[in-house]
Amino acid sequence: MWFNGALRSKGRPIEPLNQLTATEIVAEIGQGRTTCEAVVRACLDRVAEREPQVHAWAYLDPEAAIAAARAFDNSGKRGPLAGVPFGVKDIVDTFDMPTEWGTPIHKGRQPERDAACVALSRKAGGVLLGKTVTTEFANLHPGPTRNPHDLTRTPAGSSSGSAAAVADFMVPIAIGTQTTGSTIRPASFCGVFGYRPTWGEHRMHGVMEASGSLDTLGILSRSVADIALYRDVLLGIPPEPMPSIARPHFALCRSHVWNEFEPVTRTLVEDAAHRLARVGARVTEFTLPAEFELLNDAHRTISSFEFARTFTFEIEHHWNEISDTLRGGRLQDGIVGRFDRYIEAKRLADECRRRLDALMGGIDVLLTPAAFGEAPVGMPAFAGVPLYQIWTTLHVPAVSIPVFKGPAGMPIGAQLIAKRHDDRKLFACAQWAFERLT
């Protein structure tokens, strides 16, 4: 069973400790009811039990994690993430753990310093548990990670290990990334919350670049409150209280790829809109202008052109070590891509971003699917048609909330999208919707 919002600490901490959310861990440690070492040991026990089946981790050092937790407890230090274990996608640099980008080409690669997001997490009191599995170069070729709810099914990519580790209670929060749908889709398939911030707000220093015009960090968690907390930590600002909203305005968006979502997904999202209206939300319809239909192609043009140039070294020196999937996909598209078409695509994206801010007007968030349906059987990292690009291309913040079940009983997420830099309003609407749809 995936996280359903029922776990809440009242009085004594919930057992086992690995099932606490990050905000609950901070509260329990702060009130002296548990220790960072106890929480880390509980998470490591869960990893030992489940990792042979789930394969969420690319690197773990249990002794180092316990030592770091013990040092935190002995230090008397506190912080916004005081004592919280976290995981990091293996394209994010860590000075004390290898960062291999999901490819044998960079096996054993050891950075000399932490990425900005890792340094900020540790500064806030977080304890790094390990590196989570990514697809090859955070792209198409899958790693070994399985969906923890059904080991025959994919967890999706590319933040496969981060989503699976959080969903399986191995760690309360994890960092992923998103260039296309690499946080939102795994969150939907694995039944956790997944957040992709407004593009440009978080520092990407020390994170492998795929397509700099589109890349962002991603956060996987088991509560909206954890996302709100961790966002502020990664911005390097004092955390603000979880926001609230009295009567949100949701707009159901049937994008131009609406009919490509599975029928059950469309029905679930439409039903959610009706349910939200019945419990007091303002709910309207939202239609994207025709030119937004060109954004899927624009996304592929931009991301492929940049990706191929980012990995020129690997193309020149390690071509045969790159998977056939990647060589015949985004790399090939980028290698033959024309600069004039790349610029045309970027201009279209810029124009659509400006238009969307105006089109949304007084709408708080758009409501749309997070994935085409349930996680399919098999291990494709990017199963199904690519329906997620336009929101990433538009640089808007998005969150997947785990509120649906599909025909096989697997999770399906609802995606909420806000205007650029309205991330905190997005959190308020996500919490409001989650409480009423579950």
pLDDT > 90 in the chain, percent: 91
pLDDT > 70 in the chain, percent: 95
The alpha-helical segments, DSSP class H, found in 55-175 are 62-75, 116-123, 160-167
Local confidence band at 329 (pLDDT 50, 70, 90 cut-offs) = confident
CA angle 39, 41, 42 (to 5 degrees): 65
Local confidence band at 77 (pLDDT 50, 70, 90 cut-offs) = confident
By the 8 A CB rule, do 221 and 22 touch?
yes
Please give the structure tokens belonging to residue 308: 């191929």
**Range from 101-115, 248-262, 419-433 carrying the lowest mean pLDDT:** 248-262
Q: pLDDT for 94-111, tens place per residue? A: 999 999 999 999 999 999
Q: What separation in angstroms does the CA of 236 have from each of 57, 96, 115?
A: 27, 22, 13
Q: Checking phi first, is residue 321 left (phi over 0); if not, alpha (psi -120 to 50) or beta?
A: alpha
Q: Tell me what pLDDT residue 13 has.
A: 55
More confident residue, 2 or 235: 235
Kindly provide the residue ranges of all beta strands, DSSP E only, lying in 90-222, ordered along the sequence: 127-132, 173-178, 193-196, 216-221
Please say if the pLDDT value at position 3 is more than 80: no
Q: Tell me if the domain spanning 17-235 has CATH number 3.20.20.140.
A: no
Please say if the pLDDT value at position 7 is more than 90: no
Give mean pLDDT, residues 146-159.
Answer: 96
By the 8 A CB rule, do 104 and 318 touch?
no
Local confidence band at 2 (pLDDT 50, 70, 90 cut-offs) = very low
Please say if the pLDDT value at position 116 is more than 60: yes
Q: Tell me what pLDDT residue 72 has.
A: 95
Q: pLDDT for 162-187, tens place per residue? A: 999 999 999 999 999 999 999 999 99
Residues in the chain: 438
Average pLDDT, the chain: 94
For residue 158, whether the previous peptide bond is cis, meaning omega lies within 30 degrees of 0, is yes
Q: Tell me what pLDDT residue 326 has.
A: 94
Give mean pLDDT, residues 63-67.
Answer: 97
Q: Tell me what pLDDT residue 9 has.
A: 43
Local confidence band at 314 (pLDDT 50, 70, 90 cut-offs) = very high
Coil, helix or strand at residue 6: coil
By the 8 A CB rule, do 205 and 114 touch?
no
Crossing angle of helices 423-437 and 224-235, rounded to 10°: 170
Q: Tell me what pLDDT residue 386 has.
A: 55
The alpha-helical segments, DSSP class H, found in 76-178 are 116-123, 160-167
Give mean pLDDT, residues 267-275.
Answer: 98
User: How many Å is the Cα radius of gyration of the chain?
Assistant: 20
Q: Tell me what pLDDT residue 1 has.
A: 34
Please give the structure tokens belonging to residue 375: 């996680």
Please say if the pLDDT value at position 320 is more than 60: yes
Instruction: Give kind and range of the element (H or E) at residue 45.
Output: helix 36-54
**Range from 39-53, 102-116, 130-144, 368-382 carrying the lowest mean pLDDT:** 368-382
- The full set of domain ranges for the chain reads 17-235
Residue keyed to tokens 């989650």: 434
- Give the type of residue at 399: V
Neighbours of 368 (CB within 10 A): 24
Give mean pLDDT, residues 313-342.
Answer: 95
Q: Tell me what pLDDT residue 10 has.
A: 47
Q: What separation in angstroms does the CA of 306 have from each of 99, 111, 270, 337?
A: 21, 23, 36, 10
Please say if the pLDDT value at position 78 is more than 70: yes
Edge-first strand listing for the sheet containing 216-221: 57-60, 127-132, 85-89, 173-178, 216-221, 193-196, 398-405, 411-417, 365-369, 249-253, 282-286
Give mean pLDDT, residues 264-291.
Answer: 97
Q: Which residues are catalytic?
A: 89, 158, 182
